[in-house]
Amino acid sequence: MKLSALKRETALFLMGAVLIVSLFLLRLEPTLLIGLLTLLLLLTSWWSEEILLFTLALAVLVGQLYRFSLGGLTFAPLDLAVLWAVVYYGQRLLSAPAPFLSLRQSPLFWPILLLSFWLSASWLFSLRIFTFGEALFGFLYLGRFLVYLALLLLLSVGQKASLFHRWTRLLLTSIALLGFFQFWFFPDLRLWERAGWDPHLGRLTASFFDPNLLASFLLLGLFFLLTEAGIFKGLILFLLAAFFFTLSRSGWLAFGVGVLGGSLGQKKWLFLSLLLLWLAGVFLWPAARARAVDFLSFGPTLEARVENLKEGWEIFRREPFWGIGFNNLKAWRVKKEDPGQAERSASGLDNSFLLVLSTAGVFGFLLYLWFYGGLVRRFWVTGQTILAFGILALGIQSLFVNALFYPANLLLLAFILASHSA
């Protein structure tokens, strides 16, 4: 007797949940995890698309529990899974009639193509500033981002919308469950400070180890679920609770702006109810109330972000046209004898838009705005205004944390595009 699609997906995710919990409780060797992921990727090549989606979702769940380095750039299993997904969907597209014609139907085709070209050219012209060895880190970072852009483009047209709807809901539910597991059993993350992570205490981080980036992921997921609010109200409340316990002030601000914008259209009472629930939580939960009060004061976190903005703007002033090459911030800091936090994903620049402006110059920045605006327009013109406000809210949070370049967010965005593809 065949299992339904939902039961099959649930069974696969239960397997993944057991693996994640085992990593937390038993600290299994990372090589075992990589072996299992590799096996799943190989199975994908001759079995079904659902195994690929399971692999991608499981890689998101693994998060930062395991990472490996290449050329100074840190990769996670998700990067390997996304690379395989690009090969998978690229091969499937090429086997279809008139493949490039179908790609050109996507409103993201020209923005992604021209943005990819300019980012690559920006990096090439950076060799006038750096040696190839110094710019290798930026080259690898660029390559990874181009792979994610390719997946966004491939999944924006001609996909099985219902399949991606199910997997997106399942992924969001699993991340929230994992987050509450961590929040209940492992609220103190000071143990991970030696590995270079911030020592968060009493905040929901799941396997991302960064409550702000997790908040950006859940924020985008909330707006996705709000498009189906009549069916998944319970799941929305569950995800909202997980989002709340990240205690992310940048996430809260983005959520508030996005919800206020959404309340101007349809389902205004639903949006206003969510906003009231969130405000009640901030008022009643002491830790949340303390975070809100800190937001109004010029504390060390805000001071560090202001310095971060100054650094990015200074780089742009020195190299306004080409920038210093995407993403050569680590090489720039080494040259200036200020390595800073160069090991992290944005190499120390928190603002996603400023990251593009300083590393790809003004023209690269304009192309990126075209791409970002294309994402908003993609949902706006098809009547999915809630998702358009979700993309805008993500952009607001990316002014404070590098949310628009975070791999898990890019994958979730690709899933959402596929679930609304023509």
215 CA to centre of own chain? 10
* Residues above pLDDT 70, as percent of the chain: 80
pLDDT of residue 52: 86
pLDDT tens-place string over residues 194-228: 666 677 888 999 999 999 999 999 999 999 998 87
- Residues forming a β-bridge with 69: 74
CB atoms within 10 A of CB 322: 22
Beta carbons within 10 angstroms of residue 373's beta carbon: 15
171 contacts 180 by C-beta, under 8 angstroms: no
Q: Are 206 and 175 in contact (CB under 8 A)?
A: yes
Q: At what angle do helices 109-125 and 352-380 cross, to 10 degrees?
A: 170
Q: What is the pLDDT of residue 279?
A: 83
Phi/psi region, residue 4 (left: phi>0; alpha: psi -120 to 50; beta: rest), is: beta
Closest to 215 in 3D by CA, of 261, 174, 254: 254
Task: Look at residue 305 and tell me whether its pLDDT is greater than 90.
Answer: no
Q: CA-CA distance, 222 to 226, in Å (whole number)?
A: 6
Q: For residue 390, give the nearest of 375, 368, 407, 405 by alpha carbon.
A: 375
CA distances from 239 to 45, 174, 230, 274, 283 (A): 33, 10, 15, 11, 19
Dist. CA 156–CA 150, nearest whole Å: 10
DSSP helix/strand/coil, 75: strand
* Structure token digits, residue 347: 């190499």
pLDDT band at 363 (very low <50, low <70, confident <90, very high): very high
The DSSP element (H or E) to which 68 belongs, if any, is strand 68-70
75, exposed or middle or buried, with CB in 10 Å at 0-12, 13-18, 19+?
middle
pLDDT tens, 79-117?
988 998 998 899 888 887 877 888 888 899 999 999 999
Q: Which band of pLDDT confidence, cut at 50, 70 and 90, is reported for residue 345?
A: very low
List the Cα angle 158/162/164 in 5-degree steps.
75
Instruction: Please give the radius of gyration of the chain, using alpha carbons only, rounded to the nearest integer.
Output: 21
Contact present, 374 and 115 (Cβ < 8 Å): no
Residue ranges of the domains in the chain?
100-296+365-419
% of the chain surpassing 90 pLDDT: 45
**91's tokens:** 């091969």
Q: pLDDT tens digit string along 369-413? A: 999 999 999 999 888 899 999 999 999 999 999 999 999 999 999
Q: How confident is the model at residue 122 (pLDDT cuts 50, 70, 90)?
A: very high
CA proximity to 61, closest of 3, 96, 21, 103:
21
Helix (H, G, I), strand (E, B) or coil at 283: helix
